[in-house]
Amino acid sequence: RGMADKSVDAVITDPPYGISVEILPNNSERWSAPPIVEKKAMEWDKRRCGDSIPEIIRISREQVIFGGNYYSDLLPASSGWIVWDKLNGRPGNHNGRLGDAFEFIFHHNHGANQPNKWIKTTGEAIKRGTKSHASRNKNGTQKIGMASPDKAGQEYKIPDSVIRLYAEQSRGIHTELHPATFPVGLPEFITTTYSDLDECVYEPFGGSGTTLLACENIQRQCFIQEISPNYCALILERFNRLYPN
């Protein structure tokens, strides 16, 4: 709450979901997990951090929240939802649910900020005129040519709203000591899309430090916080192993 409005370029975060929290009619919350979930639940995941949502929106230009669907009642309206397709969904019965093959990611920003063009194209794509009425001359004959010849064959394009990336495959201290890790490539993708070199990214729920590593890899400044001393130690150890100097 001590941070100034729009003091960081982007917040990219994965807050606790409180997956088995039931929202009551008076908007209070009640933990209502079945025994199998109760046994596996981390104490920090038994409640959502709903009071952080308006602060995240206030302090940043871009807001990206993994698992934003668990906070949908607290988020502003946005058409910027992103789907992370994990490519290797888990089949079978998961406590009465189908195995998850994707996750929702919420994106919102202040103003019509343009995402970056960084996805390599084939170099052969051409934007042609549509077959609608707008593509015809006044006498009814069809216009010939491209709608945007200046954009034909561009080397890079803006990503679409589906991130196609395998769930975390590597094993290490992060998967040994934290129950909810994701691949570094996921925050790298998001950060590359919504920020520029040396811009400032803030992660208020540090977890295993994946967003910090992503920012280091692609040359963004990153400020990260984590409430658990054990996870803070994990973040430092993981970072120092990859960047010993």
Instruction: For 115-127, write each residue's pLDDT tens digit.
Output: 999 999 876 554 4
Q: Are 69 and 18 in contact (CB under 8 A)?
A: no
- Rounded (10°) angle between helices 210-217 and 185-194: 60
Instruction: State how far the Cα of 118 lies from the Cα of 116, in Å rounded to an integer.
Output: 6
Q: CA nearest 65: which of 178, 199, 220, 204?
A: 204
3-state class (DSSP) for residue 200: strand
For residue 11, is pLDDT > 80? Answer: yes
Secondary structure of residue 73 in the 3-state scheme? coil
Mean pLDDT of the 186-193 span: 95
Helix (H) or strand (E) holding 234: helix 229-242
Nearest of 183, 155, 177, 166 to residue 232 by alpha carbon: 177
Task: Report the DSSP pairing between strands 60-66 and 8-13.
Answer: parallel
Rounded to whole angstroms, how far apart are CA atoms 96 and 196?
43
Question: For 40-99, how does the pLDDT look when each residue is reduced to its tens digit (9 = 90+)?
Answer: 456 666 678 889 999 999 999 999 999 999 999 999 988 889 999 988 877 766 667 777
Instruction: Write down the pLDDT at residue 183.
Output: 87
Q: What pLDDT sits at residue 202?
A: 97
Instruction: For residue 36, name the pLDDT band (cuts at 50, 70, 90).
Output: very low
C-alpha closest to that of 16 among 227, 211, 215: 227
Residue 214: predicted pLDDT? 94
The rounded distance, in Å, linking the Cα atoms of 156 and 128 is 18
CA end-to-end distance (rounded Å), the chain: 33
Higher pLDDT, 160 or 79: 160
Residue 228 reports pLDDT greater than 90:
no
Packing angle of the helix pair 229-242, 210-217 (nearest 10 deg):
30
CA 32, chain centre distance (Å): 27
The distance of Cα 231 from the centroid of its chain, to the nearest Å, equals 21
What is the model's pTM? 0.78
The confidence score (pLDDT) of residue 207 equals 86
Task: Report the Cα 173 to chain-centroid distance in Å.
Answer: 23
> What kind and span of H or E run contains 102?
strand 102-109
SS3 47: coil
| Separation between Cα atoms, residue 66 and residue 83, nearest integer Å | 10
